[in-house]
Structure 1
Amino acid sequence: MPKSKIIKELVNDEISLEKALHRVIVLAKDLKDFKLEQWAKNEIRGYSNPEEIPEYRRVNFIFIGSYIGGGLKYNDAPLPMEFLKQLSPEEQKNITTYKMKESLGFLKLSIEKNEKLGRPVTPENMQLFSVGTNTEILLARGEINLPEIIAIVNEVKTRVLDILCELEDKFGCLDDMDISNGSDTIKEEARQKINQIIICDTYNNMEIGDGNTIKKSNFLSKLFKK
Structure 2
Amino acid sequence: MVVGRSQLLIDLVSNNSDLENILLRLKIILSDLGDQRIISWIKGELEGYSIEDGVESFPPYRILKGNPVGTFVVNGTTKYRNQQVPLEALIKDKELINDITVYYSRDNIKTIQHILGGENRDKYAKQISTSFCHSISRYDLQLLTMNVMIPSNQLEEIVSHVKSKLVEIIMELEKQFKNLDDLDIRSQIETNHTKKEQVTINIEKIIYEGSIEIGDNNKIKDSGIGKFFRR
- TM bucket, shorter chain: 0.7 to 0.9
Residues 1:118 and 2:121 are matched in the alignment: no
Distance in 1, Cα, partners of 2:100 & 2:177: 44
Q: Cα distance, 1:189 vs. partner?
A: 0.6
| Contact 1:25 1:36 (8 Å CA) reproduced | no
Residue 138 of structure 1 deviates from its aligned partner by 2.1
AA aligned to 2:93 is Q
Deviation of residue 206 (structure 1)? 4.5
* CA-to-aligned-CA distance 1:151-197 (integer Å, 9 cap, x gap): 10111111111111101111134121221213111111100001111
Equivalent residue, structure 1, for 2:202:
193
Cα drift, residue 33 of structure 1 = 2.1
Sequence identity of aligned pairs in percent? 25
The answer on whether the counterparts of 1:81 and 1:129 sit within 8 Å (CA) in structure 2 is no
| Structure-1 residue corresponding to 2:153 | 147
TM-score, length of structure 2 as denominator length: 0.83
Corresponding residue for residue 85 of structure 1: 92
Matching residue within 101, 105, 119 for 1:100: 105
Q: What is the aligned partner in structure 2 of residue 38 from structure 1?
A: 40
State the AA in 2 paired with 1:97.
V
SS in structure 2 of the partner of residue 130 of structure 1: coil
Unpaired stretches in structure 2, ≥5 consecutive residues: 213-219
Residue 218 of structure 1 aligns to a residue in which SS? helix
Q: Distance in 2 between matches of 1:78 and 1:145?
A: 14
SS at match of 2:17: coil
For the residues of structure 1 that align with 2:114 and 2:27, how far apart are their CA atoms? 22
> What is the CA–CA distance in structure 2 between the aligned matches of 1:94 and 1:4, rounded to whole Å?
43
Offset, 1:94? 3.3
Measured after TM superposition, the shift of residue 129 of structure 1 is: 4.8
Give the alignment of 1:9-28 within 5 angstroms.
9-28=11-30
CA contact (8 A) 2:124 2:149 kept: yes
Contact 1:30/1:178 (<8 A) preserved: yes
Contact 1:107–1:149 (Cα < 8 Å) also in 2: yes
Tell whether 2:78 aligns with 1:72: yes
Q: Which AA in structure 1 matches 2:42? A: A
* 2:178 is equivalent to residue 161 of structure 1: no
How far apart in 1 are the matches of 2:91 and 2:73? 20
Assess, with a 3 A threshold, how the Cα gap between structure 1 residues 120 and 195 changes in structure 2: closer, same or farther.
closer
Distance change >3 Å, CA 184–CA 84, structure 1 → 2:
farther
Q: What is the CA RMSD across the aligned residues, in angstroms?
A: 2.1
Q: Distance in 2 between matches of 1:39 and 1:190?
A: 16
Deviations 1:84-126, CA, capped at 9 Å, x for gaps: 43235xx543332112111112111111114221243212110
Q: 1:130 maps to which residue?
A: 137
Q: Contact 1:57/1:152 (CA < 8 Å) preserved in 2?
A: yes
- 1:210 counterpart residue number: none
Shift of 1:128: 4.9
Equivalenced residue count is 211
Q: Structure 1, unaligned stretches of length 5 or more? A: 208-215
